[in-house]
Amino acid sequence: MSITRLSLAVGLLAFVPAVSIAQAEEVNVYSSRHYDTDLALYDTFTEQTGIKVNLIEAKADELLNRLEAEGANSPADLLITVDAGRLWRAAEAGVLTPVESDILAESVPEKYRHPDNLWFGLSKRARVIIYNAENGMPEGLGSYEDLADPAYKGLVCIRSSSNIYQISLMAELLEVHGAETAEGWAKGVVANFARDPEGNDTAQIKAVAAGECGLAVVNTYYVGRLLASENPEDRAVGESVGVLFPNQDDRGAHVNISGAGVLANAPNRDNAVAFLEYLVSEEAQRLFADGNNEYPVVPGVVPAGPIKDFMDFKASEVNANVYGANATEATETYDRAGWM
């Protein structure tokens, strides 16, 4: 393996030793993506360019705190994180710098990049409604908004309102419908809960498969991960649920991203831009998609894994930057609705 990989413990703010930074042929990456499959991306980049990847891994908030503490002395060149809301936080904190690149501009659709090119989407996932395939899709269901219909009382399982994916979904609903309608929707969904919010998206899928819930809202890659599992029990769970892409008759399904931005104090800026451009190449996009059952962000790249069967849908045109801009209001809306 050609990368240097370190994990950042909670609260740790020590600098990377100076001997490992600011060399001509390296790039220092802070990443909150915790997928081992990403390592193939780093190795391939090094093989093609000779630029060594030094990797620090931690949760997004820990990395952002570290960057703010390091300031101008930070060794980091590139920040990679999950969810556009977290990318927005990094941009607001002033730790990112604009990148002008024809490759990035031509490869990444406008709705999946910062308006001032502070960050760029690298992979994407849709937030979909799932149901028990044996029971069939409930009649009349077609949108996120429908989840608040009293017809589905006692059927809905969903994650906590503190979850970043849920916050970003509400941020889009606020953008589309305004505060009053979005809060009314949240209250309606709460009234339809089958149980209090608990667990991650995999837990929601398993609850639907087991009949504990009639409906749930999950990211597509969780379904793909179960379908691709080597564990027969996991595959059976994935095969037992149906997938509905919401709002296909109007704005389209909510889509979120993983993305990256070059850091303002990057000591190896050119290498960071080169790495970012590599990450939107067809080869890297396939590695992203097939490694974690995500969608490529670059149009025209088709993954090989089970997620390829869920490619044909209409995606929302709302710019992902909204997810961060409306995040605080989204959290307050959930709180008022009693969504735990």
CATH at 58: 3.40.190.10
Identify the band that residue 5 occupies on the pLDDT scale cut at 50, 70 and 90.
low
100-117 pLDDT, tens digit per residue, is: 999 999 999 999 999 999
194 in the same domain as 332: yes
The predicted structure's pLDDT at residue 35? 79
Whether residue 77 has pLDDT greater than 70: yes
For residue 129, the cross-strand partners are 217, 244
- Please check whether residue 151 is in contact with residue 140, taking contact to mean a CB–CB distance below 8 angstroms: yes
The predicted structure's pLDDT at residue 24? 56
Determine the Cα–Cα distance for residues 302 and 324; give it in Å rounded to an integer.
28
State the residue range of the domain holding 171: 125-253+320-337
Choose among 98, 127, 125, 126: nearest CA to 113: 98
Alpha helices in the chain, H assignment, sequence order: 39-49, 60-70, 84-92, 102-107, 164-177, 179-191, 201-209, 220-227, 232-239, 269-279, 282-292, 322-325, 327-337
Residue 314 lies in a domain: no
241 in the same domain as 272: no
Whether residue 156 has pLDDT greater than 50: yes
244-262 pLDDT, tens digit per residue, is: 999 999 999 999 999 999 9
Residue 327 lies in a domain: yes
Choose among 332, 337, 201, 333: nearest CA to 256: 201
58-76 pLDDT, tens digit per residue, is: 999 999 999 999 999 999 9
- Please check whether residue 288 is in contact with residue 129, taking contact to mean a CB–CB distance below 8 angstroms: no
160-183 pLDDT, tens digit per residue, is: 999 999 999 999 999 999 999 999
283 in the same domain as 242: no
Whether residue 129 has pLDDT greater than 60: yes
Residue 89 lies in a domain: yes
Which of 23 and 130 is assigned the larger pLDDT?
Answer: 130
269 in the same domain as 239: no
292 in the same domain as 239: no
Give the count of domains, the chain: 2
215-219 and 255-262 strand pairing = unpaired
